[in-house]
Structure formats: structure tokens, C-alpha cells
Amino acid sequence: MRRVSSCAAHVAAVAAVATVASASVTIQVVPSSAPNVFGSPSWATYNANALNSLENNLGNIGDRATDPTAYEMAPAIVDAGEYMVSSFNSWRGTVSPASPFAAELGNRMHFGLHAVGDGATQFALEDVSFEITSSDGPNSLGFAGDFVGLDYSSTRFGVDWGPDRAKGGGDDIVYNSGNGTTPVDEIVYVGVGNAFWPGGGDPNPGNPIGGAQAAMDSSLAYVAANAPFTITGSYTILGDSSSGSVTTIPAPASALALLGLGAMARRRRS
């Protein structure tokens, strides 16, 4: 599948979770800010926490203020630093963060997916399509695709509820590898997403022109100039769709300070 990179954020607010139920599939979309899948030492544990929470409706697991592997559902209002991935060390918009975040490479917003059938109609990974959009004029984080020809994996798995047509009971079959054409009753996925990539357009993105802080400030400035900046992730399965969104609304003082920095950073998908 296409590579996507995602990010969400913090700030106290109601989590931006959307659920749509139909006669066939219930689709829940849960935005969450994640460590950078490309190189983060925290990714594997974050991924496991995300899948566990999405499948079992556990909500937050851990505290991102002290643990980069923690899974937290993103609130409706987020900081722009939550969707900045980098080739230099950063975390939630802070360059050269202190331990335990010192080895991190920024954050992506993943739009987590939990899709559940009605016990009668099954669906497959190849039936899932997605779209991410951002509210700025050029739709900088826009990205769409599907899973045709792709497999179940460590980031997405399917569950066949077995002959009794109900989850549990000892007859379920879990698919975390293999062909995405296999019909299932449930799919759990850490989610697609996208993020800005501060310094990514420089020939040496690990040491961009002006330094890492200047690159980060430039990306944050672009979001401030286009605020309120909303990122939306949507999924469609067998004609049914649902979406989740996060929005950045910077404080007036921060917005004025950042506007003078300009320059949009190149985006990076994962």
C-alpha cells in the first residue's frame, strides 16, 4: 500500500471519534497521534497498544506525557506539533526532546479503524478504501487509496467469528498475515494518516538549512497561517462510510509569532 504518515494531538477536549452503523458494517474511526513508524523505537509497542484499545474499546493506554509508547485517543482540538514527523530528533513539535523522548522522530496522526460486521455479512481487507484531507487550500495532507492486493499484517488484522457467527466462544480465526481477500467479520487497523515533514525538502533533512528548529518553526507557521487547520480521515466498506477529524486552533499570540516564519514543509506519507 502507499506509505502514509500521520499525526494527531493533545489539549483537553472531547475525543474526535466517529462511528457509523448500517445493516452490514459498523465503522469506528479513532484519530491518535503516533510515534514515527520510520525509525521510532516506540512504534512497535504503540502499535500493540493501539490495536488492543481499538479492538476492545479500552480508550487510552498509558500517558504520552511520560511514555512515547502510550496510546491516546486524540481530542477534537490538537497542537500542530502532533503531526510533524522529522529526520531529526523531535517529539510533539519539540526539537531535541529530553528522555524518554530523545530518540523519537516526531509524530503522525493515524486514523485508527475498527470495523465490525452484523454476523451475517462478511467483508475483506480489499473492501476497505480510505481518504485523508486537510482544510488548507492545496489540501497538503490529502491522500487516498485502498487495500486491493494487500495483506493482513502486524498493523491490521481480521477476525472470522467462526461457525457460531459470534465473537468469542473458542472458534474465532484471527488473520494477521495472508491475503486481504479473506472474508472476515471484523477488522482492526492502527490506521492511515499523514503529517508534515519539517526539513524534508532539504538535501540533508537530518541537518536542514537553518537547523532543525528553523525547519520545525516553518512547518508550525504554515499551520498557523491556515488555522483553523483540520485533518479528516475517512473509511468506506461495502458502501458504508465513517470519518474522524482533528483541528488545530493556535493561541493568538502563537499565531502572530509564527506567521512571520512562513514556508510550508514538505509532507511525508507512511
Domain membership of residue 33 (yes or no) is: yes
- Count of the separate structural domains present in the chain: 1
Domain membership of residue 172 (yes or no) is: no
Give me 39's grid cell.
525509525
Domain membership of residue 34 (yes or no) is: yes
Please count the CA atoms within 13 angstroms of the CA of 249 that sit on its side-chain side.
Answer: 8
Asked if 6 and 64 touch (Cβ cutoff 8 Å), the reply is no
Q: Provide mean pLDDT across the span 124-149.
A: 97
- Of the candidates 9, 23, 48, 59, the one whose C-alpha atom is nearest the C-alpha of residue 188 is 48
Residue 87 confidence class, pLDDT cut points 50, 70, 90: very high
Domain membership of residue 12 (yes or no) is: no
Domain membership of residue 158 (yes or no) is: no
**pLDDT at site 17:** 54
Domain membership of residue 181 (yes or no) is: no
Q: How does pLDDT run across 88-99, given as a tens digit for each residue?
A: 999 999 999 999
The DSSP line for 88-135 is: S-EETTEESPPTTSTT-BBEEEEEEEEEEE-SS--B-GGGEEEEEEES
Which ranges in the chain belong to alpha helices (H)? 43-56, 211-225, 252-259
**pLDDT at site 270:** 53
Peptide bond into 100 cis (omega under 30): yes
pTM (2 decimals)? 0.86
Name the average pLDDT for the chain.
Answer: 87
Structural domain containing residue 80: 18-113+132-148+190-268
Q: Which residues of 114-132 are buried (b: 16+ CB within 10 A; e: fewer)?
A: bbbbeeeebbbbbbbebbb
pLDDT at 24 over 60: yes
Domain membership of residue 263 (yes or no) is: yes
pLDDT at 81 over 80: yes
**pLDDT at site 2:** 23
Domain membership of residue 175 (yes or no) is: no
Q: How does pLDDT run across 184-199, given as a tens digit for each residue?
A: 999 999 999 999 999 9
Neighbours of 52 (CB within 10 A): 13
